[in-house]
Amino acid sequence: MTLARAEIVVDLAAIRHNVTTLAERVAPALMMTVVKADGYGHGMVEVARAAREAGAPWLGVATPDEALALRAAGDVGRLLCWLSLPGEAVAPLLEADVDVTAYDVVELAAVVDAARATGRTARLQLKVDTGLHRGGSTVADWPALVAAARAAEVDGLVRVTGVWSHFAAAEDPDHPANDAQEQVFRAALAAAEEAGLAPEVRHLANSAAALLRSSARFDLVRCGIASYGIDPAPDVPDGPDATPEGPKPGLVPAMTVQAPLVLVKALAPGDGVSYGHTWTADRATTVGLVPLGYGDGVPRHAAAGVGSDAAAEVLVDGRRRPVRGRVCMDQLMVDLDGDTPPAGTAAVLFGPGGQGEPTALDWARACGTIDYEIVTRVGARPRRRYVDGAAPVASVVASGATTGATSASTVGGPA
């Protein structure tokens, strides 16, 4: 058995389960699975493939590079891209059959130029800013943008396939911005139709809105975080009224982050741990070295006193162990409270949560951030390993320690 280094285990069956579950929940609206930022740290190409297998008709990415990488990996389905840079080449996207987005007449002109240069009719989507005040056309500029897009359509250079926008606070269903944004969106749609546009897909909802706001589903919803099994609205309590359709859907977190303990050692009272000795043993105890650090995307805020009062925890040998002392670039220490599990014992930072391990949400709360950031940032360095429904939470991930892996069916994954 080879030594498993620190690794991210991604359960593709969980991804497929989540995509299917969400698609059923939002029907007749269609699903776009958002796979930007390397699939929120889960691996863009692998997640995209799993989403397509589960029937996702659309994929969404931020950058042209991401869109072209998906095409290079063989993806041929509908694919929307929404964040080009000024001057960035549009022609390769048209040649790759990607739906592109314009936020203003300058971006529209670049799309029109690329359509002329390639001889292709661009599939174009127009984004209106309904109140997030990030990307998209201002409401003031919207009439000019839809008129220019319609003119390009009449010339055969573009076909406006979509009109869309993005929420600012959908995870808080009582936030007044939700109603306001939906109203502005409806008015923008009416203006687009008056200008002669007949978009195939009108879309506004991210994961939270897809689940919590059925009026905002329109033709298509863009689900990122929920596709990875993470509740987009953790502060909305579950229950019969949690969503318009009842309880929250049973999503399964797809990512587990784990590593073998490298070393276990005894400490005497008063021994300081890690840089700066920000934590000092108040008793005789044992600590374990986990080979993951901020170079792997583990937040330095995971230690108590840095980002929050409570330390993040790691599951070792059936118990949650607090991170102690500063998180270093490549390693962190956990307090084993006198226990002496052998080197090689699995240390599970987070996973689906069904076997006592913390979740990405637990880590987010300890680090003063959101679980989106936890899973995405941790995606960079540790090796990813893909499984298909098998239990990612093992008690042992390295050779040399006792075995006793837990069974595949206990993770709570899709049947």
Ligand X SMILES: *Cc1c(COP(=O)(O)O)cnc(C)c1O
Active site residues: 36, 275
Separation of alpha carbons 74 and 60, rounded Å: 15
Residue 218 in tokens? 């329109």
Q: For residues 36 and 148, what is the distance between their CA atoms, to the nearest angstrom? A: 29
Whole-angstrom distance, CA of residue 311 vs CA of residue 365 = 10
81-100 positions binding ligand X, by CB under 6 A: 82
Structure tokens at 297: 């995307």
Q: 82 or 103, CB closer to ligand X?
A: 82
Ranges within 279-298 binding ligand X (CB under 6 A)? none
Query: Cβ of 104: how many Cβ atoms within 10 Å?
Result: 18
Q: What are the angstrom distances between the C-alpha of 212 and each of 89, 183, 241?
A: 37, 17, 10
Please answer whether residues 16 and 414 qualify as being in contact, where contact means their C-beta atoms are separated by less than 8 angstroms.
yes
Q: Is the peptide bond before 291 cis (omega within 30 degrees of 0)?
A: no
Q: How far apart are CA 40 and CA 66, in angstroms?
A: 12
Q: How far apart are CA 308 and CA 326, in angstroms?
A: 13
Task: For residue 174, give the H/E element and its range.
Answer: none
Least distance from C-beta 223 to ligand X, angstroms?
A: 5
Residue nearest to ligand X (CB): 224
Answer for which of 223, 233, 303, 375 binds ligand X (CB under 6 A) is 223
Tokens 């990122």 belong to residue? 224
Residue 397 CB, nearest approach to ligand X (Å):
29
State which of positions 152-191 bind ligand X (CB under 6 A): 166
Closest contact distance (angstroms) between CB of 272 and ligand X is 40
Strand order in the sheet with 30-34: 78-81, 58-61, 30-34, 220-223, 201-205, 158-164, 122-127, 100-102
CB under 6 A: which stretch of 48-56, 89-97, 224-232, 351-359 binds ligand X? 224-232
Residue with tokens 């050779």: 399
Applying CB under 6 A, the span of 184-192, 221-229, 246-254, 362-370 interacting with ligand X comes to 221-229
Name the one range near ligand X by CB under 6 A: 87-95, 107-115, 117-125, 216-224. 216-224
Query: Contact region for ligand X (CB under 6 A) — 107-115, 149-157, 223-231, 254-262?
Result: 223-231
Is residue 222 a contact residue for ligand X (CB under 6 A)? yes
Token pair, residue 327, equals: 């998180």
Q: How far is the CB of 386 from ligand X (least distance, A)?
A: 21
Closest approach, Cβ 134 to ligand X, in A, equals 9
C-beta closer to ligand X: residue 103 or 279: 103
Tell me: does residue 206 bind ligand X (CB under 6 A).
yes
207 binds ligand X (CB under 6 A): yes
Q: Which stretch binds ligand X (CB under 6 A): 113-121, 225-233, 300-308, 351-359?
A: 225-233
Query: Is 166 or 301 the residue whose CB approaches ligand X more closely?
Result: 166
Q: Does 25 bind ligand X (CB under 6 A)?
A: no
Q: Is 125 or 345 the residue whose CB approaches ligand X more closely? A: 125
Alpha helix ranges (H) inside 27-159: 36-40, 44-53, 64-72, 91-95, 105-118, 142-154
Please report, as ranges, the residues that interact with ligand X according to CB under 6 A: 34, 36, 82, 166, 206-207, 222-226, 232
